[in-house]
Structure 1
C-alpha cells in the first residue's frame, strides 16, 4: 500500500501549500466581518448593497468549505491507506483518481486571482477579411466556445449576431455566465488563424483564414466606469435577425454610440427594446473597462520598457487542418495534435498553459 500512501501524501503536500498561499485565515476574517455587516438591521434599506454582501458571503463560504472538504478527504484517504489493508485498494485507487482531479482544479483556481477572474465574461468573435471562408471560420469558433461553455455548465446568451452574406458568422457577441468564466476565457483574446483545404473553393485549394476573438469582463458591479447620458447617442431600428413577427415589425434593436471614444455597440437579439438597451449598455461598459485596463498596462509597461501593442496581425493560436493536424498556441507553445477535439471545445489545456504562463511572467 506504500505506493498509494505516496500518491495521497503528494496530494496532501500540494493542498497544504495551496491553502497556505490562499490564506484561509484571511478568508475566515473576511467572512466574520461580512457576517457582522449582514446582521445590521438597516442593511436592507439599501437592497443593492445587501445583495452584494450576501453574494460575497456565499462565495467566500463556498470557497472555504471547498478547501476544508478536500483537505478532510485527503486526510481520510491517508488514514485508510495506512491501515495496510489490500482489500481497500480498489476503493482507494478510485478515490485517489478523484482527488488528483480535484487537486489539479484547485491548483488552477489559485491562478485565477485577478479582480474580474471569478466573474462572467463577454465574448465577441469578428470574422477577418476573406468573405465566406472567414465567416465560416468565425462560425467554427462560435461552435467551439459554445461547446466548451456547455461542457462546463456555463450559461450562454447571444447579445448580438450578424450572419455572413452567404454562410457562417460575420460577428457575434455572447455573454457567458458562471464562476471563473472570464478568468478562463481571457486566454482566448486575440487573433485565431485557420489553415485548411477550403470547402468553398471549387479547386479545393488550401486557404488561410483569420478571426478576432474579444474577451471582456462583465462590468456590472464596477463603480469605476460611469457613462454620462450626454456621452451616448442611442438609435433604434428593426432587427435584421431571426426573432419572429414582433421583432420584424417593431424597432426593438438598439445601437449605442459612445461619443468620446467612437465605440459602437449594437444589440438586436431580444424582443424588447429595453432588454436590448440594457445588454448594449452592459457591453459598452465592459469595453470601456477594457480600454481603461489597457491604458494602465501601457503606462506600467512603458515605465518598465516592455509594453508591446497588440495588433490584428499577431495571431495567438493557429489551427492547422491540412497538410497535417495541429493546434498550437504561439504564446505558450502548448500544442495538440487532435485539432477536431479542440474545435469540439477541448480548450482546458490551452487555458491552463496560458494561466501558468501569466504566473511565470509576473
Structure 2
C-alpha cells in the first residue's frame, strides 16, 4: 500500500521470511481462527434455519456478516499455507537460480496480504466497517478552488474504484465558471468509512493558476467531510418540525456528473445547520428518502465528533477534530510534492496521487492513529 516498496523488500530473503513469520504470529491473535471458524458455523446455522428470509433486512445483514467472516478466514488460512511453503521454496531457490523470481513473487504476495490483514486490524470504531458518505466542498480561492474541488472529487472517487468499492454520486453543485461548489458520493464496501476517515479535513493546492491570465501562483483549498452510512432509521431521531425541505431543478455539471431532473431535494436541519441535497433520482420521493438517509449519517458523524472531543478533554489532549484542520498539501509549482502534515508521509509523483493513489497516505494515518 505504501508509495515506495516496503523496506523489507531490499533485505535478504532470510530476514524477510523471518519478518513474515513474526507478523503472521502477531496477526493470529487478531484473526483468532478458531473463534472465527465457530462464528462462521454459527452464522451458517442461522442462515439455514426455517423462516430466515422472513425478515429481509436481518437476513441481508447476517448474509453480509457471513461473507465478511468467511473471506477473512479463507484469507488467513491461505496465507498460513502459502507462508509454510516459502521456506522449502527458498531452499530450492538456493540450488536452482531459476526459482528466485518465483520466490520473490511469492514473498511479495505474502507481504501484501499480511499488510491487508494488518490494515483491517486498525478498524475498531463502531461504524468503521460500513459504507461512507463523502462530501467535497470548495474552499477559499474562487474559481481555482472550485476547479480544485472537482480534482479532489475525482481523486477520492478514483481511489474508491481502485480499491474495488462501489461508488454512487448523489449530488453535484457546479461552479460558476469551472469545477464544483460541492458534491456528495456514497462509497459501498467493507471498511469504507474506516478508510475514508483518513481523508477528512482540508486539502491545500499550490499551482500556477490556469484561470489567471498572468499565470500567477495560486493557493486553493477544498474540504472533505466523511460520515458513516446509517441504515437503521431508528438509530437517529429527527423531528419533522426541525426540517426545511426545498425542491428545485438540478443544475449539476450535466451528464459528466449526474442526470438533470425537476425533482431535486434539499433538506436543512435547523438545529444543527446541516444541509443535504440529492438529485440523482428521477423521483422526488426517492431523492427525499436518499437525502434523509444522508442527513441521518451526517448527524451521527456530528455526534461522534462531539464524543471524540469530550474524550480528548477528559484526557487533557488538545485534539483537533474539526472540519477546518488542514491535513495535506499538494504542490504542483515550483516543485512537485504531496505531503500529509499529520504523518509527514509524502510522494513526489503528484499525478499518481491525483489519479487516486492514496493508499500510502491512508495507511500512514491509520497506523499513527492506532498507536495513540
TM-score by length of 2: 0.88
Selected match of 1:67 from 68, 71, 76 = 76
Task: Note if 1:340 corresponds to 2:351.
Answer: yes
Selected match of 1:49 from 58, 67, 73 = 58
The offset of 1:125, in angstroms, is 0.7
Alignment of 1:1-362 (within 5 A): 4-83=13-92, 85-86=95-96, 87-221=98-232, 224-241=235-252, 242=254, 251-311=262-322, 313-361=324-372
CA RMSD of aligned residues (A): 2.3
CA 1:11–1:311: 2 relative to 1, 3 Å = closer
CA 1:50–1:289: 2 relative to 1, 3 Å = same
Indicate if the aligned counterparts of 1:191 and 1:315 stay in contact, CA closer than 8 A. yes
CA 1:310–1:102: 2 relative to 1, 3 Å = closer
**In 2, Cα distance between the equivalents of 1:123 and 1:232?**
22
Unmatched 5+ residue regions in structure 2? 1-11
- Which segment is superposed worse, 47-56 or 88-97? 88-97
**In 2, Cα distance between the equivalents of 1:355 and 1:7?**
23
**In 2, Cα distance between the equivalents of 1:25 and 1:106?**
17
Instruction: Describe the superposition over 1:270-315 as per-residue Cα deviations: whole angstroms up to 9, x where unpaired.
Output: 2222331222122111101101101211221221121445455531
The offset of 1:138, in angstroms, is 0.6
TM-score by length of 1: 0.90
Q: Secondary structure at the match of 2:235?
A: coil
The offset of 1:92, in angstroms, is 2.0
**In 2, Cα distance between the equivalents of 1:70 and 1:221?**
36
How many residues align structurally? 356
